[in-house]
Structure 1
Amino acid sequence: MGEKAEPILKWAGGKRQLLSELLPLVPNYTGKYIEPFLGGGAMFFALSPENAVLSDCNEELISLYKAIKKDPINVINELQSYVNCEEEYYRVRGFDWKSLSEFEAAARMIFLNKTCYNGLYRVNLHGGFNVSYGKNTKTQFCNPEQIFAASNALKKKKLLCADYKKVLQKYAEPGDFIFLDPPYYQVTERETFLRYTSGRFYGNDQEELAELVNDLYDKGCHLMITNSNHPKLYELYKRFDIKVVQVRRAVNCKGNGRKGEDTIITAFH
């Protein structure tokens, strides 16, 4: 048995801290696992399902997972060529990932994620990674065992860069378990949207998602959705169970702004 797979990226809004709440709720299902807002993949790696469809609209992220799935040794070799210092960080950040090989691009993304400020993934309107250096030269950014474990977990899994609606409409079948972790409903006007891609996810997008969840439930799928504790969600998902859980917001600069509430919505048969 190799090392248990776990997320290889620190992902703002990642579900690692919620796993103790999420995993006991996972239903017995007969179909495949589908996760169309993959992000850091904490839920996927924890479950390690045999049959899975994984997708995200973040092209660089899916390219990273495909490279690790294909050849983890090449990714590790590229990653080990980097040095954790400010000058190197900004040199590497200045690369256009699309101009690099798939393995160079994967190593770049891991390096920047591990050594940037607060482990954020954020891009500007032009799609350029724009987080500053984290200034911790002791941060370990290359963990070969972790990368090999992730590679093994991703073997034989379908990886797609696509809009979540297209993925679900094409692949969702009765008996499947679908885990949805969309960009959260903004609870207050002061909240800053964490820009994972250069697009946005607005209130009408939340309504479209809820409509699709209802349709998929009627089709015979099992669904679990995470979101903020926004009043609108109780209307959108009134057919289903909604559990409120306390969470820590690790990316807020102010300590007193780091506490919050998430909802876990379960639509099970």
Structure 2
Amino acid sequence: MRAKPFLKWAGGKSQLINDIEKALPKEFTSQKFTYVEPFVGSGAVLFWILENFPNVEKAVINDINADLTNTYKIIASKPEQLLLQLEKYQKKFHSFEHDVDGRKEYYYDQRKLFNTRATPKVTQAALFIFLNRTCFNGLFRVNPSNGFNVPIGSYIKPTICDVDNIMAVSKVLERVEILTGDYKQTLLHTEKPAFFYFDPPYKPLSKTSSFNTYAKDEFGDNQQIELRDFCKQLDTLDHFWMLSNSDVKGKDVNDNFFDDLYGEFNINRVWAKRNINANPDKRGKLTELLITNYDHLKVEYA
């Protein structure tokens, strides 16, 4: 089985894989590369790269979310132990198929346990996956105290223990170094030539569309500017990079935030779907940005 994301994830990049493939540097398919993903999230691009490009001998991933990176590390090192716990959670959750109150009580008990951050690392990883598969829309959101606060979803018998995929993910992670913390540290673990793919917290299109509570620290405009500066540093070091972000200009034609910020680089607009919104009428197609520091075959995306 080919590895694929083991989590549901707001902003996951599975739907943009075709556009990302078109925008890869032409050298990427013919040379040995180190692949670096400083905001790894659910790893959709990571798993696609590792499964399709054997010339990538090493990958470096990072995320500020320690709960997430712990789960990656446990899948890499102790998949069988993790699966045993996931099987127990799945069996218990499915036992409440006809008991809504029991299902809710069980979910919130596990959420409370997860938020203690006091269980063994394997258990914490299992709780992370359990909550992701049973919470509303697969969101990961924390309050200022780093407490996971997403309510239960409407799932009755979700897949919580995906044995085949967990084992496939564990296999490909043998080629991956997993870091936790500031994305800038990835540069210290990188060998040339390297290809960086950035999928940072997106700049919100409106005051009500922000999912930046993914971590307890904000990722606002100043952090977007810092990230641009880091990309410029990579450019001077002759690394390749690609970056995704929201297309604020698509919402407001006078908003040139990213067009000005990355004006010296290549900015492409691609179609994407907005799937995570409590109001179904506000889901649909919109454009996002794919920005690169290299020339590639220009394709009309959007």
Give TM-score, length-normalised by structure 2: 0.84
Q: Is residue 61 of structure 2 the alignment partner of residue 35 of structure 1?
A: no
How far 1:249 moved relative to its partner?
1.6
- Provide structure 2 residue ranges, at least 5 long, that are not aligned to the other structure: 51-55, 94-102, 249-255, 296-302
CA contact (8 A) 1:123 1:196 kept: yes
Which residue, 124, 129, 135 being the options, matches 1:105?
Answer: 124
Whole-angstrom distance in 1 between the partners of 2:13 and 2:116:
26
Whole-angstrom distance in 2 between the partners of 1:194 and 1:141:
26
Greater than 6 Å deviation, 4+ residue runs? none
CA contact (8 A) 1:174 1:219 kept: no
Give 1:7's aligned residue.
5
Give 2:75's aligned residue.
68
How far 1:189 moved relative to its partner?
3.2
How far 1:41 moved relative to its partner?
0.6
How far 1:97 moved relative to its partner?
5.4
Q: Is residue 270 of structure 2 the alignment partner of residue 245 of structure 1?
A: yes
CA contact (8 A) 1:114 1:140 kept: yes
Which segment drifts farther, 152-161 or 32-41?
152-161
Q: Which structure has the greater CA radius of gyration?
A: 2
Q: Give the structure with the higher percent helix.
A: 2
How far 1:193 moved relative to its partner?
3.0
Once the two structures are aligned, what percentage of the paired residues are identical?
Answer: 35
Report SS of the residue matched to 1:200: coil
Deviations 1:160-199 (A, max 9, x none): 102012323x134442000000111223334233421111
Show the 5 A alignment for 1:197-216. 197-216=215-234
Kindly provide the amino acid, as one letter, of the partner of residue 196 in structure 2: I
How far 1:101 moved relative to its partner?
1.1
Whole-angstrom distance in 2 between the partners of 1:88 and 1:76:
19
Show the 5 A alignment for 1:111-130. 111-130=130-149
Whole-angstrom distance in 1 between the partners of 2:261 and 2:13:
22
Whole-angstrom distance in 1 between the partners of 2:118 and 2:84:
18
CA-based RMSD: 1.5
Give TM-score, length-normalised by structure 1: 0.94
CA contact (8 A) 2:34 2:192 kept: no
Whole-angstrom distance in 1 between the partners of 2:152 and 2:75:
24
- Provide structure 1 residue ranges, at least 5 long, that are not aligned to the other structure: none
Which segment drifts farther, 190-199 or 113-122?
190-199
Report SS of the residue matched to 2:60: strand
Whole-angstrom distance in 2 between the partners of 1:148 and 1:227:
31
How far 1:24 moved relative to its partner?
2.6
Show the 5 A alignment for 1:171-186. 171-186=189-204
